[in-house]
A = this chain, B = another copy of it.
Amino acid sequence: MIHVAVLGHGVVGSGVAELISGIGEGLTRKADELLNLKYILDVREFPDSPFAECFVKDFSVIEADPEVEIVVETIGGTAVALDFTRRALTAGKSVVTSNKEVVANYGQELMELATEHGVTYLFEASVGGGIPVLRPLNQCMAANEIQEICGILNGTTNYIFTRMIQGGLSFEAALKEAQEKGYAEQNPAADVEGHDTCRKICILASIAFGWHVRPEEVPTVGITGVTLHDVAFAAAAGKKIKLLGRAIHNADGTICTYVEPHLVDVSNPLAGVEDVFNAITVKGNATGDVMFYGRGAGKMPTASAVVADVIAIARQMQRSAYRPWSPSRPERSVSVDTLESPWMVLLRDGELSQGAEIQLSGNAEGHGFLVSPMTRPALLNTLQGLEVLSTIRVLD
């Protein structure tokens, strides 16, 4: 019997407790007979919970109990969560988390700490919720060199775009609807400004390339500037607007990692990813494009990914740990300003003198153009003196 402590009893934490104990709506069995839920750490009171006897308020109880072999961290944020993760690993307990902020910022340190203490640090649920992507990326593609990762990694922003495109809602109206449906936080900054996507592409890039790619190295543009005007012209071009996190491994060994809204051709499978769904495309030199698709968030999808990691550890599969990351290599990162892409440009008036391949028609005011591949600095040079409504990168 493996004893487990779950830190935090919010949305994900309570789902983890239900799966490990087998107590919860629609559950007919425990996730694994090996597992026993011994503690739940939360500062709040849950007197009517079926897990009432498991609650503790003091982490040192868990830290000091030698029976606890696996600690699940679902607290979120980086303050307390990071402290408890370090202390659990140092106490010789394996840690499983869904906390992308901790992993993206401190993953290298925490994996080294785990190795030092002979335990494991796993975080499948931190990217793509219930979609298995980190383990397949790490293991099944061991025989591939990863050339590119490109993903719709944030369900909130994808929902907002879907409503703008299909429902004709403005960004503000779509965001309000997402908040009413519980898909967006009351403070939506982490989602709509792209920080959540940034953390996830950092984790994917670090696993794919083998070194820690840090959020502060990754230029991040959110979706707050995208208008219905953009959406209409994109549609006229047979494209949809998606917020993508991309990590590109160049032939010279450098990488390019960034987050930005893109037009995606409707023939690309990523264009068909609607609502709160996520999808991650991985290009290997042998496999070509492989795509992983599913619900990127939600209580039980995320909790099931956490518990799958717990089971992997319980079954003595510590050797399936992710390949440890070496320290950050900022010198191997190149600016997104070196990346040549096609662009969609909307002008108030006037014509493009250079690079315009296709003139778009649309119902909205202004003129739209699809521009042949060039870097952003080159594009801005081309646009000097014109009244530009928007420029959006096209996924090629």
A binding-site residues for B, Cβ under 8 Å: 15, 19, 26, 28-29, 31-32, 124, 129-132, 135-136, 139-145, 269, 272-273, 284-295, 298, 300-301, 303-308, 310-312, 315-317, 319-320
Contacts and interface: CB of A to CB of B under 8 A. Distances in A.
Contacts of A288: 130, 294-295, 298, 301
Nearest to A298: B288
Of all A-B residue pairs in the complex, the 3 with the closest CB atoms, nearest first, are A132-B140, A130-B287, A286-B304
A243 to B, nearest CB: 19
Contacts of A132: 136, 139-141, 290
A129 B286 CA distance: 11
Contacts of A315: 319
Contacts of A319: 315-317, 319
Given A291-B293, A301-B287, A319-B316, A308 B142 contact: yes
Given A142-B311, A143-B31, A308-B142, A294 B285 contact: no
A31 B294 contact: no
A355 to B, nearest CB: 30
A154 B139 CA distance: 24
Given A129-B287, A286-B303, A319-B319, 20 more contacts: A15-B286, A19-B143, A19-B286, A31-B143, A130-B287, A131-B287, A132-B139, A135-B139, A141-B304, A141-B308, A143-B303, A269-B272, A286-B301, A286-B304, A288-B298, A288-B301, A289-B294, A289-B295, A290-B294, A290-B295
Contacts of A142: 31-32, 307-308, 311-312
A304 B287 contact: yes
Contacts of A144: 304, 308
Contact of A307 (B32, B143, B293, B300): B143
A181 B15 CA distance: 50
Contact of A28 (B145, B269, B292): B145
A286 B316 CA distance: 24
Q: How many subunits of this chain does the assembly comprise?
A: 2
A315 B321 CA distance: 11
Contacts of A289: 294-295
B290 A131 contact: yes
A324 to B, nearest CB: 13
A140 B308 contact: yes
Contacts of A124: 140
B308 A143 contact: yes
Contacts of A272: 269, 272
A110 B301 CA distance: 33
Contacts of A135: 135-136, 139-140
Contacts of A300: 285-287
A12 to B, nearest CB: 12
Nearest to A266: B272
A20 to B, nearest CB: 9
25 contacts: A19-B143, A32-B142, A129-B287, A132-B140, A135-B135, A135-B136, A136-B136, A139-B312, A140-B308, A142-B308, A142-B311, A142-B312, A143-B304, A143-B305, A143-B306, A286-B301, A287-B294, A287-B301, A288-B298, A288-B301, A290-B294, A291-B294, A292-B293, A316-B319, A317-B320
Contacts of A143: 19, 31-32, 303-308, 310-311
A130 to B, nearest CB: 3
A284 B131 CA distance: 11
